[in-house]
Structure 1
Amino acid sequence: MGLKLCLSSTLKFSPISILRPISQSTKNPLRRSLLLVRALSADAAAGTTTIAPDTTPDDFRVAKAPQWKAAIDFKWIRENKEAVAANVKNRNSNANIDLVVELYDKLMNVQKEVEGLRAERNVVANRMKGKLEPSERQKLVEEGKNLKERLVTLEEDLLNLTDELQQEAQCVPNMTHPDVPVGGEDCSSIRKMVGKASEFSFSVKDHVQLGKDLNIFDFDAAAEVSGSKFYYLKNEAVMLEMGLINWAVSEVMKRGFTPLITPEIVRSSVVEKCGFQPRGTNTQVYSIEGSDQCLIGTAEIPVGGIHMDSIIPESSLPLKYVAFSHCFRTEAGAAGAATRGLYRVHQFSKVEMFILCRPEESNSFHEELIEIEEELFSSLGLHFKTIDMATQDLGAPAYRKFDVEAWMPGLGRYGEV
């Protein structure tokens, strides 16, 4: 019928600095927080299958006026400028490391000036507490006034530099796992190949034609009701989606994951803390006009925020979640034959695996998540390959990412699922 369970996997260091580690600090200098290992996900409908070129790196660029400030180790960036610059180049990022370092140096110099003037002002204030001749007191008053005026100017400069530095530094992508292939999509390497493509003695139909013949999709009515790239599921397609959701959640729960159904509207600041751009020309996020809220594009956003402002005891880790939600994406720039039908739609259902763990355990848990995905796909009898995505196909928060691409007979090619 063309409907498939969809999974992919990403290892990321979360920029949510308010999740504070008890005794371990993450090895990632740009994001000092508990490590979030996120395996995305079981997309329950074929509408979630992505086969068009990945636009994720653009999606993760930080907005010009961030509502939230990530806890970034600027000193580490300065001391490791060459490595960070090489990573920016490998990720094909627009981040300006030279400007970040320049702003940081300026900030440190202004900070020293401010601290020096504050110390001078304190000396003057202490001297004025004693017995003084009127002329000497007047001299100190004038000196204090001049110091205050200079401080006001420098403190304003300090505030502006801090904001500018934060804005530029939040554009810097995460450092990359050393085993990730460097380059574009063509440089990605195959981790695993499962099964082989089915052969048919008849002409294979694509999912759009199958859906029409079986009366399980309605794109025309959805276009009238909601606009392009929306759809109605009907008849067996409804039961198939609901069955896949229930099956995926149940299978993952057997492996010790706590099930969640998440909110589908979140604050823009939470979206930003998870590394997404809530507003801007290329954003994939739907913002709610007149509010500070957005529709989620993935369940990892509300799951990532579930422990905000909390201190998690190390003894309680890892925390494993499997979350179901509907997801909403603008799919800016998506067009062409590769996005026909249920591909690159604006709304879809998804099941997400999500783990909070200690940094030193991240690689092993990422491996566990990938193995779960591969087991689920294998049990469905799909022919697929797991790909270690190259640096230019990683979103800014990602440390490493594995995609699963299944063979799609109707298209005669592999497509991300």
Structure 2
Amino acid sequence: MIDIKFIRQNREKVESAVRNKGINIDFDQLLKWDEERRRLLTEIEQKRSEQRKTSDREKAKQFKNEISAYKKSLSEIEAEFNDLFSKVPNLPADDVRVGEDESENEIIKTVGEKTRFNFSPRDHLEIGERLDIIDLKRAAKVSGSRFTYLKNEAVLLQFSLINFVLDLLIKEGFKPILPPVMIKDDAMQAMGYLEHGGEKEAYHFEKDKLYFVGTSEQSIGPMYQHEILKEEDLPLRYISYSTCFRREAGSYGKDVKGIFRAHQFDKVEMFCFTKPENSDQEHEYLLSLEEKLMQQLEIPYRVVKMCTGDLGNPAARKFDLEAWIPSQNKYRETHSVSDCTDFQARRLNIRYQNKKTGQKEFVHTLNGTVFAAGRTIIAILENYQQKDGSVEIPRVLQSYLGGIKEIKNK
């Protein structure tokens, strides 16, 4: 959430920023409930003060009844207020381009020459089936559409990627973590992914009051819920590996072939807690690490900066890395990196003790993809395919595969 005081004092700016995200919020109603909420809190405090001062039993009883009535009204108002307030998204950073959707995103740079072949390139599914490393047909028989069996060298390739990025990021000071893949309702709500259609993408177990995570950061952010961090421990940087789950409810008819868009996938994620003044620098740092990974894999890519309408609810600024996919003759998203400023920290109540001011202040949170296994494997298979149907292994991964240099036809 953003600070309600900031909304009161900067209503016009906030309304404009929220509209630029393509979201409609009834700010008249929100501020009306906010005013009524504050009025009731004042009334309760006044009645309590009067109750403490009186020695008359009848008056004390009357004050008690009045306080009880005010509390009931306050509870009802706060429920309405909190529900609407939770729908207010994080505000876009000042440097984010105003735009309606992905068509207005900003291409920052393109790195590497597009992979060209002297033969007609196959798509990743054809490659994977010919090499017996991807099996969608049996997965569909067992689990339905948008599931897969990764087999043989594809499994080895995935774990080589994990070991490669762990080596790299642990040297950078990241702490490895295997997080839970199910989190409580309040934790998921606080991370800010359920509003404005996000609920439709999540697997929710109402009986257990648990959600499957759709991305690793959803279970890392709440680690420090209601805690005060030490300033000297910041930034806290984590690298996590987990299985993630998405309904892909809004993706009907999109990427139905292959493993690009799946209900279940594995992902390595970076997550950082940092001081507010270091937030922008941390965002650039995470982006540089994502680029370093792609450069070492020697896969052509481009960096795209999201416009306001394509930012998502928690993010103030977001970059995507898109890998070149030869069979589609276009770039496709494989990584993202977001600065969520203090939006999630306020909802989670995560603060740190500022030694200079002596105040407890909200941290900033950031997240970035190290790799989403399926999409990274797609990019490798398609960019490293050979005319005979085999696939070369990127040089940086060969040592993690016991010296295997290619996946050969069976």
TM-score between both structures, scaled by the size of structure 2 = 0.76
Q: Distance in 2 between matches of 1:265 and 1:112?
A: 40
Say if 2:100 is the partner of 1:170. Answer: no
Q: Distance in 2 between matches of 1:116 and 1:368?
A: 51
Aligned to 2:31: 101
Amino acid at match of 1:185: E
Moved more, 234-243 or 144-153: 144-153
Q: Distance in 1 between matches of 2:299 and 2:32?
A: 52
Pick closer, same or farther for the CA change 1:306–1:111 going to 2, 3 Å: closer
Moved more, 111-120 or 371-380: 111-120
Aligned to 1:55: none
Say if 2:321 is the partner of 1:404. Answer: yes
* 1:342-381 equivalences in 2 (<5 Å): 342-381=259-298
Structure 1: runs of 5 or more not aligned: 1-14, 16-29, 31-72, 129-139
Pick closer, same or farther for the CA change 1:362–1:227 going to 2, 3 Å: same
| Alpha-carbon displacement from aligned partner over 1:252-310 (angstroms, at most 9, x marks no partner) | 11211111122222222222222222998843221234212222211112221222343
Cα distance, 1:102 vs structure 2: 1.4
Aligned to 2:139: 222
In the alignment, is the contact (CA less than 8 A) between 1:195 and 1:384 conserved in 2? yes
RMSD across aligned positions (CA): 2.1
Q: Distance in 1 between matches of 2:120 and 2:31?
A: 59
SS at match of 1:398: coil
Cα distance, 1:317 vs structure 2: 1.2
| Alpha-carbon displacement from aligned partner over 1:161-194 (angstroms, at most 9, x marks no partner) | 1121111111101122111111121221122210
| Alpha-carbon displacement from aligned partner over 1:97-151 (angstroms, at most 9, x marks no partner) | 222111111222233333344444445x32x2xxxxxxxxxxx73x555544443
In the alignment, is the contact (CA less than 8 A) between 2:17 and 2:92 conserved in 1? yes
Q: Distance in 2 between matches of 1:401 and 1:325?
A: 22
Amino acid at match of 1:409: P
Say if 2:83 is the partner of 1:153. Answer: no
In the alignment, is the contact (CA less than 8 A) between 2:109 and 2:302 conserved in 1? yes
| Alpha-carbon displacement from aligned partner over 1:69-108 (angstroms, at most 9, x marks no partner) | xxxx322211111111011100111332222111111222
Structure 2: runs of 5 or more not aligned: 335-410
In the alignment, is the contact (CA less than 8 A) between 2:113 and 2:300 conserved in 1? yes
Q: Distance in 2 between matches of 1:347 and 1:79?
A: 44
Say if 2:314 is the partner of 1:314. Answer: no
SS at match of 1:283: helix
Pick closer, same or farther for the CA change 1:144–1:322 going to 2, 3 Å: closer
Q: Distance in 1 between matches of 2:276 and 2:229?
A: 14
Aligned to 2:379: none
* Equivalent residues, number: 333
Amino acid at match of 1:84: V
Q: Distance in 2 between matches of 1:109 and 1:307?
A: 33
- Greater relative CO (CA pairs within 8 A, separation 6+): 1
In the alignment, is the contact (CA less than 8 A) between 2:87 and 2:195 conserved in 1? no
Out of 86, 93, 97, the position equivalent to 2:16 is 86
Aligned to 2:247: 330
Aligned to 2:108: 191
Aligned to 2:390: none
Aligned to 2:408: none
Cα distance, 1:198 vs structure 2: 1.9
Amino acid at match of 1:102: K
Q: Distance in 2 between matches of 1:399 and 1:144?
A: 50
Aligned to 2:181: 264
Out of 305, 309, 314, the position equivalent to 1:388 is 305
In proportion to residue count, which structure has more helix?
Answer: 2
In the alignment, is the contact (CA less than 8 A) between 2:234 and 2:275 conserved in 1? yes
Q: Distance in 2 between matches of 1:337 and 1:290?
A: 31
Moved more, 333-342 or 76-85: 333-342
In the alignment, is the contact (CA less than 8 A) between 1:204 and 1:409 conserved in 2? yes
- Paired-residue identity, %: 37
| Alpha-carbon displacement from aligned partner over 1:379-412 (angstroms, at most 9, x marks no partner) | 1111111111111111211111000111111111
Q: Distance in 1 between matches of 2:180 and 2:196?
A: 20
Pick closer, same or farther for the CA change 1:224–1:175 going to 2, 3 Å: same
Aligned to 2:125: 208
Q: Distance in 2 between matches of 1:390 and 1:286?
A: 28
TM-score between both structures, scaled by the size of structure 1 = 0.75
SS at match of 2:72: helix
* 1:280-295 equivalences in 2 (<5 Å): 282-295=199-212
In the alignment, is the contact (CA less than 8 A) between 1:388 and 1:403 conserved in 2? yes
